[in-house]
Structure 1
Amino acid sequence: MTTFLIGFMGSGKTTIAQLLATDFVDMDQVIVNRIGMPISTFFEMSGEVAFREIESQVLEELSKSDGVIATGGGVVTSDDNRRILSESEAEIIYLKSDFDTLYQQISDDTTNVRPLFVDKSREELQVLFETRAPLYEAIATQVIKTSGKTPKEIVKEIRR
């Protein structure tokens, strides 16, 4: 069985994936390995469209595997990706949080540089968040509200 974790940047997808399975897959790391550079560098050199094409290829491959997969926050922006996720027999868990909490978590994370966070104002990020939220909701098989919960509490809720 495959489980995809989806949600906006900063929602804790990788953290939760690590707690759910020791052999989890981080899609962003798979992409970094494939392109041979940080995603932020690839964004600067090749742009978001090129990144999304690679992301779709990786998602298609991972949709045929088993295990827990942490996706990138923008995976739902592509019609193809939403189709791949919806047509898979995977569980798709949306880690849902409010924008203010996510913004604070992204701001506090100095180890994970997110290209869209660096390039956009808070207002632009909020618009991005509001645009993506219904896309996450539409394909999720389970929605977990994460605001005010610890990672362990979230994992416990997922496993119920």
Structure 2
Amino acid sequence: MTTFLIGFMGSGKTTIAQLLAEDFIDMDYVIVERIGMPISTFFAEAGEGAFREIESQVLEELSQNEGVIATGGGIVTSDDNRRILSNAEAEIIYLKSDFDTLYQQISMDTTNVRPLFIDKSREELQEIFETRAPLYEEIATQIITISGKTPEEIIKEIRR
């Protein structure tokens, strides 16, 4: 069985994936390996459109795998990606939170450089969040509200 974790940046997809499976796949890591540079550098050099093309290729390949896969926050912005996810025989878990909580988590994360966070104002990020939220919900097979919960509590809820 394949499990995809989806949600906005800062929702803890990688953290939860690590706790669900030792051999989880982080799509961002796969993409970095493929492009040979940090995603933020690729964004700056090639643009978001080129990044989204590579992201779709990687998603198509990974949808054939089994296991736990942490996706990038923008995976749902593409019609093709939503189709790939919906057609995969997979559980799609949306790690849902309110924008203020996510913004605070992103602001405090000094190890993960997020191109959109660097380039956008808080208001612009909130607009992106509000655009994506219904797309996450549309394809999710399970929605887990993460606000105020520890990673362990989230894992317990997923495994119910």
Report the TM-score when normalising by structure 2.
Answer: 1.00
Letter in 2 for 1:86: S
Letter in 2 for 1:99: F
Letter in 1 for 2:22: T
Q: Deviations over 1:8-30 (max 9, x none)?
A: 00000000000000000000000
Identity of aligned residues (%): 85
| Aligned pairs (5 A) from 1:9-20 | 9-20=9-20
Unaligned segments of structure 2, at least 5 residues: none
Aligned to 1:77: 77
Tell me how many residue pairs correspond in the alignment. 160
| Aligned pairs (5 A) from 1:67-146 | 67-146=67-146
Aligned to 1:23: 23
Moved over 6 A (4+): none
Letter in 1 for 2:4: F
Q: Does structure 1 residue 58 correspond to structure 2 residue 58?
A: yes
Letter in 2 for 1:31: I
Q: How many angstroms apart in 1 are the aligned matches of 2:75 and 2:92? A: 12
Q: How many angstroms apart in 1 are the aligned matches of 2:126 and 2:43? A: 20
Q: How many angstroms apart in 2 are the aligned matches of 1:78 and 1:28? A: 16
Q: Does structure 1 residue 47 correspond to structure 2 residue 41?
A: no
Q: CA RMSD in A?
A: 0.2
Q: Deviations over 1:17-75 (max 9, x none)?
A: 00000000000000000000000000000000000000000000000000000000000
Q: How many angstroms apart in 1 are the aligned matches of 2:152 and 2:30? A: 25
